[in-house]
Structure 1
Amino acid sequence: MLKVLNHGGAGLRTVLAPQDLVLGDGDVWLDLLEPTREEELAVERCLGVELPTREEMAEIEPSSRLYQEAGATVLIATVLTASDTARPINSPVTFVLAGRRLVTIRYVRPRAFEVFASQAERQPESTASGAQVLIGLLDAVVDRLADVLERTSAQVERTSLDVFARPRTAPFEDIIDTLGRAQVVDSKVRDSLVSLHRMISFAGLADEIENNHECREHLASLHRDVQSLTDHCSYQSGNITFLLDAAMGLINIEQNSILKRFSIFSIAFIPPTLVAGIYGMNFQHMPELAWQWGYFAALAIMVAASLGPLLFFRRKGWL
């Protein structure tokens, strides 16, 4: 799907016949969502720039993700999507800054793109050029990542209270599942931020940004925001690791406590077992067998032999 944003227009318009694509002076943003080869060729013909393929977008070396070619600046960043689902994913998104126009190529639907598209309709002055559109999109992506981090931080904070203030008999499965999901989201946010950090640094080399003081200042502000969020990700990752270790430690403590109780009761019942074993022997001459009160005396000895170790363990604080 190919959509085009015209500066001052009524939002993104869908191009149904890409072979007839003709760009006007006010067309500043071409958004390719899961593009067909026909749509890619139409954009390449209009801009005179070769667009990276989906396979090239998936490469991880910086030289294949950040480069300048034929007067255009090609930037490929990793963007987090589906962060509010059980399976968040990181996907590459391409930004091609060619003169006054920006081309984006994506095979996912990041929420930040929808937010910026709505903002562009309300504030057309923020889309006067492709450089402004690029910075606006990056700003929306960074804001979205910040929101995800805030949500994850609040979730981790609530979970930390559950770890240390939970009833002793409450299960740990939900806590560990929550921390595991938080760690996955935090890791993917950090990967995306690292990618954006490199991309923002390289984007400053584009003539369209380097020659625009306002764009340079906004880009520098985004660079600081990304660095701050990356540091927060590292802190939160350490906090999640600590909580996971604490949860596993508490599980081990509770298991050891249960095993200790079983061991104590096993030891306490050894003396009665010994008494019962003695009087269960089939010797012919056992005086107590003929005693009228022998049965009750044996029971009393067994009870006393059980209570003795239990009282001793309790006095020592082991029970």
Structure 2
Amino acid sequence: MLHVFVNDGGRLVWSKGAETMLGPLPDSAAWLDLVNPAPDERHRAERLVGFPLPTREQMAEIEESSRIRVLPGRVHLTVMGLVWADTESPRIIPVSFVLTPSHLVTVHHIDPQPFLAFRRKVSRDGLASATPVAVMEGVVEAMVERTAGVLRRVALELDTMGSRSLHGHTLRPRSESRDDTRTLRRIGHAGHLVGKAHVSLTSLRRMLEFLAGGEGAGLGKDCRRWARAALLDVTGLDEYALFLTQKVGLLLDTTLGRINAEQNEIVKIVSVLSVALFPPTLVASLYGMNFAHMPEKHWSFGYPYALLLMLLSAVLPMLYFKHKRWL
């Protein structure tokens, strides 16, 4: 899919007609957003800018020299974007920015939510400046805001789980239902999501570091000034993501420790009850033997005597355990 935004008197507006027509794209096109483009859409965009756009294989390269390339008249920048953050299967995908003096081309094969939100904002309100750098600023800021929102949501969820884990009962009451498997799954998902956000922020930080000091790339002062300001935000978010990673590890250790303590407490109670019930069982077994000569069987108070003996053999160990603080 090809989205075309043109420069209309200095403002960036969405040109729906240019997307549907089969001829060349208008020269006033300032931003071309290609979402999993078809061959003809890629060809139209390449005819306008005058050079080949990065392919899926080139975007998947992980070497720094492949992700940041300065070519004659243009700069190729590839970052990792966070997608599907609201689902159980978040992913990171490569997003390429091709920046020229007159055009910005973005290529991605899954549409990230920040791109969708920014396109809607431009189509509704327009953009005050249609320069390629201004458009790139808006897109990158939308990506940063989206990642910040994801980290805020994860932090709130970790705080909620941490409060329950640290202030809950070791042995839960009957009225409390706690699914430890679900809790561990939620912690794992939070750690997985924070890890994806960290990868995305790291790639954005490297791109902004290049833009902030890219005097040799033909970038203007406004671009470098914006990149320095955005770099502070991205660096802060990246450090916050690392903090959340440590918090996930602490919460995981705390939850596993609580589960282990709860299991040990249950085993302790079962063991104490087994020991406490052993003497009455021994007394009952003793008087349940079928020997002919057992004088207690002929006592008139033999039955109460056996019951009392079993009761005392159960109570006395329990009092001893209480005295030793084993219960």
Same-fold status (TM-score > 0.5): yes
The residue aligned with 1:76 is 78
Contact 1:49/1:72 (8 A) holds in 2: no
- Letter aligned with residue 143 of structure 1: E
1:11 matched to 2:14? The reply is: yes
Match of 2:162 in 1: 160
Alignment of 1:173-188 (within 5 A): 173-188=181-196
Task: Report the Cα offset of residue 3 of structure 1.
Answer: 1.5
Q: 1:221 offset after TM fit, Å? A: 0.9
Q: Percent identity?
A: 34
**1:291 maps onto 2:293 in alignment:** no
Contact 1:116–1:136 (8 Å) recurs in 2: yes
Distance of 1:110 and 1:139 partners within structure 2: 13
> Which sits farther off after the overlay, 247-256 or 131-140?
131-140
Question: In structure 2, what residue type is equivalent to 1:303?
Answer: L
Q: Secondary structure of 2:13's match?
A: coil
| TM-score, with length taken from structure 2 | 0.90
Secondary structure in structure 2 of the residue aligned to 1:109: coil
Kindly indicate whether residue 194 of structure 2 is the aligned counterpart of residue 191 of structure 1: no
Change (3 A) 1:39 1:70: farther
More moved, 133-142 vs 301-310: 133-142
2:48 is matched with which residue: 32, 41, 46? 46
Match of 2:322 among 311, 314, 317: 314
8 A Cα contact 1:112 1:144, kept in partner: yes
Mean Cα displacement is larger for which, 227-236 or 46-55?
A: 46-55
After superposition, the CA RMSD in angstroms is 2.0
Contact 1:131 1:209 in 2 (8 A): no
User: What are the superposed Cα offsets for residues 185-222 of structure 1, whole Å, 9 maximum, x if unpaired?
Assistant: 11110010011111222334666975422221111111
Preserved contact between residue 276 and residue 317 of structure 2 (Cα < 8 Å): yes
Cα distance between partner residues in 2 of 1:207 and 1:35:
32
1:280 is displaced (CA, Å) by: 2.6
For 2:263, the aligned partner's letter is Q
Q: Does structure 1 residue 64 correspond to structure 2 residue 74?
A: no
Within 1, Cα distance between the matches of 2:57 and 2:213? 25
Deviations 1:246-272 (CA, angstroms, capped at 9, x unpaired)? 111111111111110100010011111
Q: Deviations over 1:39-74 (max 9, x none)?
A: 112222222221111122122222222212342211
Please give the alpha-carbon distance, in whole angstroms, between the structure 1 residues aligned to 2:43 and 2:14: 23
Contact 1:204–1:210 (CA under 8 A) maintained in structure 2 = no
Matched residues, number? 316
The one of 257, 260, 265 aligned to 1:257: 265
Checking the alignment, whether the CA contact within 8 Å between 1:72 and 1:98 is kept in structure 2 is: yes
State the one-letter code of the partner of 2:4.
V
Distance 2:249 2:285 in 1: 52
CA-to-aligned-CA distance 1:111-147 (integer Å, 9 cap, x gap): 21123224435253232x1122112211111111111
Equivalent residue number for residue 26 of structure 2: 23
Alignment deviations for residues 283-305 of structure 1 (CA, whole Å, 9 cap, x no partner): 33221122222122112111110
Structure 1: how far apart are the matches of 2:13 and 2:223? 24
2:324 maps to amino acid: K
Q: Does 1:235 align with 2:243?
A: yes
Q: How does 1:54-133 map to 2 (within 5 A)?
A: 54-121=56-123, 122-127=125-130, 129-133=131-135
Which string of whole-angstrom CA distances, capped at 9 and with x for unpartnered residues, describes residues 163-204 of structure 1? 123344241344323322211211110010011111222334
Please identify runs of 4+ aligned residues in structure 1 that moved more than 6 A: none
**2:317 partner amino acid:** P
How far apart, in 1, do the equivalents of 2:113 and 2:129 lie? Answer: 19
